[in-house]
Amino acid sequence: MAVSLLSQLKQMTTVVADTGDLDAIRRFQPQDATTNPSLILQVAQQEQQRERMAGIARDSHDLNDAVDRVAVDIGSEISALVPGYVSTEVSARLSFDRDATVARAHSLIERYQQAGVDPGRILIKIAATWEGIQAAAQLERDGIQTNLTLLFGTAQAQASADAGATLVSPFVGRILDWHRARQPDADFSGANDPGVISVKGIHDDFKAHGYTTIVMGASFRNAGEIKALAGCDRLTISPGLLDTLDNETGTLTRQLDNAPASQQADARAPLHEAAFRWQLNEDAMAGEKLAEGIRKFMADQRRLEALLEDLSRKH
C-alpha cells in the first residue's frame, strides 16, 4: 500500500497544524498546533461559534480580556486534541513593549491553568522584535516557554536563540512573496525558493553553534516548500497543504538533519541590541515583512475586537 507524503514527513519532522479548525486537527492528528490572531478570528467568525463568542464577550471586563479569553478558550479545546504544544499569541499591540508582553504572557498562562491545561504545553507566541525577544528571555527565565514568530532574517533568529527561546517560527511563504513582487519572472521553485533557503540557513546555523532552540518552518505557499524542508525540527502547516500531502504518494527525501547539536559546536557571542537593529535595518525584506506582519495581525485583532463588541450588544 502506498504511503502518503504526510505519513513519511511525520517520520522525519514533527508536524504541527497551523489552524484553529478542530475538525482539521482531528483529521490530520498533528503533534502540536499553532494559532495567531488571524486564525483565531477565522474560528470566532464561524456561525456555530456566535453564541459562545457572545457569552465570552458579555462576561469579559474589556476587549483585551475578551480577546485573551477567546484565544485561551480555543487553545484549551485544541490542547485536548494534540499531545504536544499549543501556541497562543500575545497581542501584536504589545510588540514593542517588553514589560507589557511579559505581563500578558503570565496572564495567558494563568488562564490556561484555570482551564486545567498544563502550562508546560503552552508556547507563548511573540513577534521577534528586539523588545519581544527580550520579553521571551525573561519569560524563559520565569519558566514560561516561548515561540518567536514573524521571523524573517538571521538577526532575529540569532537573537531569539541567544535569548533561550524554546522555538522560533521562520516564515517561508512571506519571504517568497517579497521576492516574487520584485522579481516576477525569476525561478523560485524548489531549492531556489528564498524562504526555503532562509529556513535551511537558520536550521544549519543553530546546529553549528549549539543552539537548542527548535526551528519550526511556517507560512507555506505550496507543498514544494514543505518537501524541500523535510527533516526540519518542526513544520507548521495549514489544513489545505496537509490535505495535499496526505493525498500524494511517492518518496519523500530528507533534506535537513534535525539531530541534536553537537557538543563540540562552535559557540559565539550574543547579538547585542545595536547590532540587531543595524542588521535588521540592512535586511530590507526582514524589516519590511516584520512591520507588515505586525500590522496585519493587529488589523485582524481589531476585527475580532469589533466582532466581540458587536456580539455583546446583540446577545
- Per-residue tens of pLDDT for the chain, all 315 residues: 789 999 999 999 999 999 999 999 999 999 999 999 999 999 999 988 888 888 998 888 888 999 999 999 999 999 999 999 999 999 999 999 999 999 999 999 999 999 999 999 999 999 999 999 999 999 999 999 999 999 999 999 999 999 999 999 999 999 999 999 999 999 999 889 999 999 999 999 999 999 999 999 999 999 999 999 999 999 999 999 999 999 999 999 999 987 765 555 567 889 999 999 999 999 999 999 999 999 999 999 999 999 899 888 875
Cβ neighbours, 10 Å, residue 187: 8
Q: Where are the strands (E) in the chain, listed by range?
A: 14-18, 32-34, 86-89, 122-127, 146-151, 167-170, 214-217, 234-237
Classify residue 123 by its DSSP letter: E
Spatial distance between the Cα atoms of 226 and 256, rounded to a whole number of angstroms: 11
- From 125, 200, 207, 227, the catalytic residue: 125
Report in angstroms the alpha-carbon separations of 179 from 55, 165, 234, 279.
44, 28, 24, 19
Cβ of 307: how many Cβ atoms within 10 Å? 19
Q: Please tell me the pTM assigned to this model.
A: 0.94
The pLDDT assigned to 50 comes to 85
Report the alpha-carbon angle 78-206-238, nearest 5.
30
CB atoms within 10 A of CB 176: 21
Helix-strand-coil percent breakdown of the chain, rounded to 5?
55, 15, 30
What pLDDT is attached to residue 191? 86
Spatial distance between the Cα atoms of 299 and 90, rounded to a whole number of angstroms = 14
Q: Report whether 211 contacts 258 (CB < 8 A).
A: no
Residue ranges per structural domain of the chain: 5-314
| Cell matching residue 13 | 519532522
Per-residue CA distances from 293 to 7, 42, 101, 128, 299 (Å): 31, 17, 17, 11, 10
Strand-pair partners of 167: 147, 214
CB contact at 8 A, 40 and 70: yes
- The per-residue pLDDT for 53 is 87
- Give me the residue label for grid cell 553553534: 209
Beta carbons of 173 and 179 less than 8 angstroms apart: no
200 is catalytic: no
DSSP-derived 3-state class of residue 95: coil
Candidates 150, 197, 293; CA nearest to 188 is 197
Name which CATH class applies to 5-314: alpha beta
For residue 2, the model assigns a pLDDT of 86
User: What's the rounded Cα separation, in Å, for the pair 296 and 294?
Assistant: 5
Helix (H, G, I), strand (E, B) or coil at 21: coil
Cβ proximity of 20 and 287 under 8 Å: no
Q: 59: buried, middle or exposed (CB in 10 Å: 19+, 13-18, 0-12)?
A: exposed
**Cell for 54?**
457572545
169 three-class SS: strand
CA-to-CA distance for 251 and 244, rounded, in angstroms?
Answer: 15
Beta strands in 103-233 (DSSP E): 122-127, 146-151, 167-170, 214-217
